[in-house]
Structure 1
Amino acid sequence: MSTTALPASSRRLLVDLMVMAMRASVMGCKFGLALFIARYLDLSSLGLYGLAAGAIAAVPIVVNLGMNHLLMRDAVTASTDDMIDSMRHYWGFVGFAYTTLLTIAALVTVLLGTTSLWILIVAVIAFEHVGNDIFYLLSSLQRHVWANAIGFIRGAAWILVFVPLAIWDTGFRSLPYLFGFWLVGGAASVGLFAFLSRSWPWLASFSRPFRVAVITDAIRRSYLMLLSDLGFITSQYIDRYLITLFLGLKVAGVYFLFWTVGSSATTFLGLVLQQKQRPSLISAYRTSGPSAHRQLARRFLQTTALATVALSTAVGFTFQVLLPWVAPQPALIAQLSAFWLIVAGLAVRYMADFGALALFTAHLDRLTTVTNLASVGVLVLAQLTLLPIAGLHGAGAAILLASLIMTLWRYCLLFGFPVSNVHSRRAGV
C-alpha cells in the first residue's frame, strides 16, 4: 500500500519514523567512523581528523557571512520564486568564494610543496557548506524526508562504504582516502538535491542577470548573524585546538573521540527535534506574536530537556560498555571519568543551544549575537583556567561550567522579560 493511501496520522508517523531512522544512521556512522580511526589508525590521526572536522564546520560560517540564516528564515514564508532568486544569488557568491579558496590551496600545494590533502579538505568544505544549506532550506520548507535523505547520503552512506572497505583492504586506511570518500558523499548529496528539485524554476531564475545589490543588501542585513555564528562555532570547536596546544595531538584524539560520542546524541536531537522546532517557532512568532512564541518555546524546552538527558545517558553507557571491545586502548579506558564530564557538558551545551535557537526565532538577533560571542569568552576563560590544572578532566569541567552559565543567561533573556520588552529587542529596532 502506498503512503498516499494511508490516513494522515499514519503518514505523519511513517515520515517521523523514516526521519528518525535516517538521523540515527548518520549519528551511528559518525560514531562508528571515530571508533574506526581510533582502532585501525591511531589517536594522532584521530586528532588530525578532529582538527580538520573543526575547520570543515568553521570555514562555511566565514564564507556565508551570516546570510544563510536570514535566507532560511525568510524561506518559511517566502514565495517559491523569491526563495529561488535569493538562493541562486547566495550560492553564486558561495561558488565564487570556494573557487578562490581551491585556487589558493592548489597554488600553495604546487609552489610550496605542501600536502595535497588540503585541496581535498577545501573541496569537502565546499560540499558540506552547500549540503548544510540544502538541509536547512528543505527543513524550512517542511520537506523533512527530502532533507534527511540528502543528509543521509552526505553524512552516512559514504561511511558505510568506506569503513568496510578499509577494514578489508589496509591500503584504504589513511586520511586522504577518508576525505576522498567524504567528498564523493557530499557531491552525491548535492546531485540528489538537483534531481529532486528539477521541477523548480531554477533555469528561469539563473537566466536573469546576476544582481550584485542582492548580495550586498543580504550582507548588510546579516552582519549580526555573522558575528553570532562566529561566536557559536568558536564556542563549539575551540576546545580541540586548545587541548592540542596544551596537551598534544594524542590527547586531542582522545578528547575528539569522547566529544564525538557525546555530541552524537545532541546532534541527533538537533536534527530530529530542532528540524521541526525551528520553522514552528518562526511561524508562531510571525503569525501569533511573542507570547505564542514564548509559550511554544516552553513546551519545546520540556521535550528537549527530557530527550537530552535520556539519549545522552543511553549513548554514554553504550560507549562505556563497548569501549574495551571496539577501541581497547589504555589511553581511552583510563579517561572514562573525563568522558562522563564531557558528555554532561555537551548535554548542557545543547540546552544552551536551544535557548539560542529560541532567541533567534523570536528575531532577537542582537541578544543571540551577544550571548554567542560571550559564550566564547566564558569557555576560553574556563578552559585556560582548568586545562593546565586538570587536563582532560578540566576540559570536560570547563564545557559543563560554561554551558551552565550560558543556559541560565539565555533562558532568563527568553522568559524573564515582559512581552513588550522582548519585542523591542528585535533586530533593526
Structure 2
Amino acid sequence: MALGFDFYTYSTRELIVTDKKKWAAMLRDQGIFYTITYTILIPASFLIFWIGFLPWELVFWFFPLLALEHVAQEINRLLVAISEPLWASVILFIRHGCWAFMTAVILWIFPEQRHLTFVLAAWTLGVSSACILGFIRLRNLDSISLKLPVDWKWIKKGIKVAFPFLLATLSLRALYTFDRYWVEAISGLEVLAAYVFFAGIANAIMSFLDAAVFSFTYPELIAAVGRKDTKGFKAQLRRMGIQTTLLAFTVSAAAIILTGPIIHWIKRDVYSQHLPLLFWTIFATAISAISMIPHYGLYALRQDRSIIVSHLFSLPIFFIATIALSQFYDTISIPISLAITFSFLFIFKYTMLKRSNTLAA
C-alpha cells in the first residue's frame, strides 16, 4: 500500500475520463511516480529485517514479491479502468488462485516438496505470469502520447488527492489487524485460527463481488459523471445496488451452507464450536459489500472528503463497539463490532450520496 501511495485513487478516475490516446503517457507518469516511491521506501523496508521481524534468509524473496505483487495489483486496476474487466479477472485468478491451487496439488502428490522455498518460488512464478499477461494486454495502447513530456503537475495533484486516501485506507485496513489481536487476547490461538479461517471465507465473498460486479460497474459510474449524465449515473448505481445485494446474500448463504461439510472434512472441533463467529463474520462482510455501493457513487462524484472522513472514523467506532460489547459477550463481540462499523460506513456514505446535487430528484 505504501509503495503505491494509493495513487490509483487519483489516476483511475483521470484515466477513465481522458482520451484513450493519452493513456500511455498517463501510465508512464504514474510509473515514474512509483519509481520515486520505490527509491525511497525499498531501502527503508530493510528495517523489517534489521529489527528481526523477518529472517534475513527471506530477503531475496521479499523484495521481488513485494514489487511483483504491487505491479500485478496496479495492472489489475488499470485493466478495470480501461474497461477490460475479463482480462482483470483472469489476471487476478492467476495471481491469487491458479498458482496456489497447483502448488497445493503438487505438495499433496510430492510431500518432499513441502518447504517454504518451494511455496515462495511458486508464488513468484504465479505473480510474474500475471504481470507478463497484463503487460501483453497493455502493450496495445496507443503510444503516440509518450512523446509528450512528463506531466509533473499531474503527478503533484495526484499526490495531494492520494495522501488523504492513504491515511483513510490505513485506518480501515487496521480493522483487519486489530480484530485478530483482540480475538487472540480474549480466546487464545486456537480460536484465532478458527476466526482467521472464517475471515478467509468471508474475504472470498468480497473478492467474488469485486470480480463479478464492481469491476464491471464502477468504471461506468465514473464515465457517466464525466459525461455529466445524471440519468446514466443513477441507472448504473441502481444496477450495482441490485446486483451487489442479491449476490452478497446469495454467496453468503452458500458459504455458510458449504462451510459445515468442509469443517467436518478437516476435523477441527474448535471450528465447529465457534460457528457463530462464521455467521457474524459473513454478515459483517455482506454489510461491507453493500456499503461499497454508495462508496463507489461518492468516488465517481469525487466526493472524497466524505469517503475519507468515514474511513477515519471507522477505527475508533470499532474500538468503542468492541470495548462495550466485550463486557457482555466473548469473542463474538469482535465480528459484531465489525458489522456495526460497516453499518456506520453504509449509513454515512449513503447519506452523503443522497445529499449530492448529482442525485437530486
* 1:63 positional shift: 2.5
Q: Distance in 2 between matches of 1:130 and 1:230?
A: 20
Partner of 1:162: 103
What is the percent sequence identity of the aligned residues? 19
* 1:74 positional shift: 1.4
Contact residue 136 and residue 147 of structure 1 kept, 8 A:
yes
Shift in CA distance, 172/374, structure 1 to aligned 2, threshold 3 Å: farther
Structure 2 counterparts to residues 360-399 of structure 1, below 5 A? 360-387=299-326, 390-399=329-338
- Structure 1 gaps, min length 5: 1-59, 423-429
Q: Distance in 1 between matches of 2:284 and 2:195?
A: 13
- Structure 2 gaps, min length 5: none
Contact residue 22 and residue 145 of structure 2 kept, 8 A:
no
TM-score (norm 1): 0.74
Contact residue 299 and residue 307 of structure 2 kept, 8 A:
yes
Alignment-mate amino acid for residue 159 of structure 1: A
Q: Distance in 2 between matches of 1:240 and 1:203?
A: 49
Partner of 2:14: 74
Moved segments of 4+, more than 6 Å: 110-113
Alignment-mate amino acid for residue 224 of structure 1: P
Is 1:184 matched up with 2:125? Answer: yes
Shift in CA distance, 222/97, structure 1 to aligned 2, threshold 3 Å: closer
Partner of 1:194: 135
Partner of 1:25: none
Contact residue 102 and residue 123 of structure 1 kept, 8 A:
no
TM-score (norm 2): 0.87
Contact residue 228 and residue 370 of structure 1 kept, 8 A:
yes
Is 1:314 matched up with 2:254? Answer: yes
Which stretch shows the higher mean deviation, 106-115 or 138-147?
A: 106-115
The SS at the match of 2:3 is: helix
Partner of 2:170: 230
Q: Distance in 1 between matches of 2:15 and 2:47?
A: 38
Superposed CA deviations along residues 262-295 of structure 1, whole A, max 9, x for unmatched, are: 2212220122100111011112222234464245
Q: Distance in 1 between matches of 2:359 and 2:138?
A: 42
Alignment-mate amino acid for residue 419 of structure 1: N
RMSD: 3.0
Partner of 1:49: none
* 1:92 positional shift: 2.9
* 1:143 positional shift: 1.4
Superposed CA deviations along residues 125-169 of structure 1, whole A, max 9, x for unmatched, are: 322222121112111111122222222221122112210111123
Partner of 1:412: 351
Shift in CA distance, 375/201, structure 1 to aligned 2, threshold 3 Å: same
Which of these residues, 202, 206, 212, is aligned with residue 266 of structure 1? Answer: 206
Matched length: 360
Superposed CA deviations along residues 370-429 of structure 1, whole A, max 9, x for unmatched, are: 1111122212322344457534312221112222222222222222x262798xxxxxxx
Alignment-mate amino acid for residue 123 of structure 2: W
Partner of 2:220: 280
Q: Distance in 1 between matches of 2:32 and 2:298?
A: 30
Structure 2 counterparts to residues 9-158 of structure 1, below 5 A? 60=1, 62-98=2-38, 101-105=41-45, 109=49, 114-117=55-58, 120-158=61-99
Q: Distance in 2 between matches of 1:199 and 1:291?
A: 33
Shift in CA distance, 244/174, structure 1 to aligned 2, threshold 3 Å: farther
Q: Distance in 2 between matches of 1:310 and 1:332?
A: 23
Is 1:333 matched up with 2:272? Answer: yes
